[in-house]
Amino acid sequence: MKFLLNHQETGRLRFRKLEHSDFEIWMELFKDEQTTKLLGMSEFKNAEECCEKWFEWTFHRYENDLGGQNALICKETNQLVGQCGLLVRNVENKFELEIAYSILPNFRKMGFALESAKKCKEFAFENNFHDRLISMIFPENENSKKVAAKNGMIFNKK
């Protein structure tokens, strides 16, 4: 589990592994059709099914040392505000490491995505995990593209 940011912190956030008890809170993310679409999860019937798949994928990553998004806990309120982490990807038969982030609707536009993404970048390079990082973003996801750009990433359309 070397790619997880467990016990890492930023000024406002604490990183920890996603827990089964986070399910009900995290399901809020998928109640918005636009968010579900931007996360590539439109094929699932409803918010609960999306959340079940998300948790299944996340725990599979944890168990197989493929990184995964950590839960982001606001240090001031102790609330779950989103998830962010490093994901191991195979892109065109090459090892890549992705910074991925998702913020719950009530906590967007507060800088949590950028703050956590910067921490992931710093953590990855401090630990020499890879010589570059990627973020795979749907072209319509303007907010995520802005976060990536502010985190020093450049657009590369493939």
Q: Is residue 157 part of a domain?
A: no
Segment 12-17 shows an average pLDDT of: 98
Q: Is residue 158 part of a domain?
A: no
User: From start to end of 3-136, where are the E strands?
Assistant: 13-16, 67-74, 80-91, 94-103
Q: Is residue 118 part of a domain?
A: yes
If one counts the domains in the chain, the total is: 1
CA pair distance 25, 51, nearest whole angstrom: 10
pLDDT tens digits, one per residue of 85-128 = 999 999 999 999 999 999 999 999 999 999 999 999 999 999 99
pLDDT tens digits, one per residue of 127-140 = 999 999 999 888 88
Q: What is the domain-level CATH number for residue 59?
A: 3.40.630.30
- In eight-state DSSP terms, residue 107 is G
CA pair distance 88, 97, nearest whole angstrom: 5
Nearest to residue 57, comparing CAs of 72, 68, 73? Answer: 68
Q: Is residue 3 part of a domain?
A: no
Which residues are within 8 A (CB) of 55 and not within 5 positions of it... i.e. 6 or more apart? Answer: 18, 20, 23, 26
Segment 73-86 shows an average pLDDT of: 98
Neighbours of 147 (CB within 10 A): 25
CA pair distance 24, 47, nearest whole angstrom: 10
- pTM as predicted: 0.93
CA pair distance 45, 43, nearest whole angstrom: 7
Q: Is residue 24 part of a domain?
A: yes
Owning domain of residue 94: 13-150
Contact 70, 15 (CB under 8 A): yes
Whether pLDDT at 75 is above 70: yes
